[in-house]
Amino acid sequence: MKGSKHWRVTPVFLIGALTALASQAAAQEGPKIDTGDTAWVLTSAALVLFMTAPGLALFYGGLVRRKNGLATIMQSFILMCMISIQWVVFGYSLAFGPDIGGFVGSLSWIGLNGVGAEPNTTYAATLPHQVFMIYQCMFAIITPALITGAFAERMKFSAFLLFSLLWATLIYDPICHMVWASDPAPADGSAAAMGFIRAWGALDFAGGTVVHISSGISALVAALVMGKRLGYPHEPMPPHNLAFSVLGAAMLWVGWFGFNAGSALGANGLAASAFVATNTAAAAAALSWMFAEWSARGKPTVLGAASGAVAGLVAITPAAGFVGPMSSIAIGAIGGFICFTACNLKARFGYDDSLDVVGVHLVGGITGALLTGVFASKAINPAGNDGLLFGNPGLLITQIEAVLVTLVFCGGGAFVLLKIVDALVGLRATEEDEVVGLDLSQHGENAYTL
């Protein structure tokens, strides 16, 4: 009887002991890489790269005059090359490396030192660290590319290269760190060091401040510093290929799913929510812009509808992971109308923002950041916060503060860098080169042989 009883009890103890050992071993191993999350974020990285070229390259390239089409496309393409190198060598370390004063990262990850196949639990516990790094690289590529629309058709290629490299290093990397970066929490239980805008509790899911406001205010400064194109606004300067531009806008829409839904950093419900919000806001904004234009000018243009979709994508970017579908419709519709109005005010203020970067990205980015403070809900993302409509007006105040800091830092920094570049190599092409066109004067080629 005793032997029988012993035989019945022993397996229970064995199972319990084995379970405890397995749990202890799993705890010692730490977080495990999830192949589904990894596949989704790598796919998202490719989608964000797709936004720069061919998406933005075609969108901007079709909007300029024929003599500048190739040069405009080249700007987006070469940034894919230059920023990819800058990011790997030191840009990623400045943006996401161990915190220095809440302002910028240290250079301890220079050359991707320590950035390998193991996960970084601070940013993405289920991804190899290099996957997170290369995903963020695509954001670093497209952001300076957005600025090029403001000075299209008049900046020298050498000046463009120098300004873009300096801007990515001294403006983008620090603002990225301020908004998104964090160190691991110390073992003593004290708060982790992090970018000071993130420490405030400001919400930016996928780049409203980091990408769109930073590039938009820099674009405004660049347009003012460089002055107007020869003949603007008296000579007609219509887009030379609207089909290119509309196709480019459609590619941006597709790529934006990687931009926003990829920022969930996993193949999960939050990614699905951000995907739905992104698509819905873009559709609402395109309709909003189209009907506003139809009412104001008597006809709905194809370019207007495409521009509206881009405006909605910009506006939903900071909110995508914090709002539900109905809120995304409101954000898109409001963003489309406000951006349409802003683009129409350009002539009144007299600055030459060639491709409406200010009206779409600066105004759309600000609109989205502020509306995040209105519509955000912890029911959608517990890691976020409730906004004004959900009983927390403090979040809207925080969003306003984050917007103001971004405007001052990025706008002031861009002004200083433009002056430095002008002193070193000169910013603007000569009048003769501008008349001939940047395709021929800067690259010795033509986009079209007729």
At 30 the pLDDT is: 58
Buried b (16+ CB within 10 A) or exposed e, 310-319: bbbbbbbbbb
Whether pLDDT at 244 is above 80: yes
Fold that domain 37-443 belongs to in CATH: Ammonium transporter fold (1.10.3430)
Task: Summarize pLDDT for 376-398 with one digit per residue, the tens.
Answer: 999 999 999 999 999 999 999 99
At 150 the pLDDT is: 97
Q: What is the mean pLDDT of residues 330-348?
A: 95
At 230 the pLDDT is: 96
Q: How confident is the model at residue 29 (pLDDT cuts 50, 70, 90)?
A: low
Q: Is 428 helix (H, G, I), strand (E, B) or coil?
A: strand
pTM confidence score = 0.92
Q: How far is CA 395 from CA 26, 193, 328, in A?
A: 38, 21, 18
At 12 the pLDDT is: 45
At 26 the pLDDT is: 44
Q: How confident is the model at residue 226 (pLDDT cuts 50, 70, 90)?
A: very high
Distance CA 430, CA 433 (A): 5
Q: What is the mean pLDDT of residues 101-106?
A: 96
CA torsion 342→346→347→351, rounded to 10°? 170
At 412 the pLDDT is: 98
Q: What is the mean pLDDT of residues 263-279?
A: 98
At 191 the pLDDT is: 79
Angle, helices 214-226 vs 363-375, to 10°: value is: 160
Q: What is the mean pLDDT of residues 276-284?
A: 98
Distance of alpha carbon 203 from the chain centroid: 14
Q: What is the mean pLDDT of residues 27-46?
A: 87
Q: First and final CA of the chain: distance in angstroms?
A: 101
Are 317 and 367 in contact by the 8 Å Cβ rule? The answer is: no
Phi and psi (nearest 5°) for 311?
A: -60, -40
Task: Summarize pLDDT for 38-76 with one digit per residue, the tens.
Answer: 999 999 999 999 999 999 999 999 999 999 999 999 999
Are 369 and 318 in contact by the 8 Å Cβ rule? The answer is: yes
Whether pLDDT at 91 is above 90: yes
Q: Is 155 helix (H, G, I), strand (E, B) or coil?
A: strand
Whether pLDDT at 25 is above 70: no
Q: How confident is the model at residue 3 (pLDDT cuts 50, 70, 90)?
A: very low
At 2 the pLDDT is: 44
Q: What is the mean pLDDT of residues 131-146?
A: 98
Whether pLDDT at 375 is above 70: yes
Angle ∠(168,171,177) on CA atoms, nearest 5:
95
Q: What is the mean pLDDT of residues 83-109?
A: 97
Angle, helices 214-226 vs 129-147, to 10°: value is: 30
Q: What is the mean pLDDT of the chain?
A: 93
Residues ≥6 apart with Cβ < 8 Å to 172: 91, 95, 140, 143, 144, 210, 214
At 190 the pLDDT is: 75
Whether pLDDT at 23 is above 90: no
What is the percent of the chain where pLDDT is above 90? Answer: 89
Q: How far is CA 407 from CA 57, 210, 264, 320, in A?
A: 26, 11, 26, 22
Q: How confident is the model at residue 24 (pLDDT cuts 50, 70, 90)?
A: low
At 7 the pLDDT is: 42
Whether pLDDT at 118 is above 60: yes
Are 292 and 305 in contact by the 8 Å Cβ rule? The answer is: no
Report which DSSP code applies to 352.
-
Amino acid residing at 97: G
Under the phi-then-psi rule, with left for phi > 0, alpha for psi from -120 to 50, and beta for the rest, what region is 12?
Answer: alpha
At 186 the pLDDT is: 79
Q: What is the DSSP string of 35-60?
A: HHHHHHHHHHHHHHHHIIIIIIHHHH
Strand 99-100 with 104-105, pairing: antiparallel
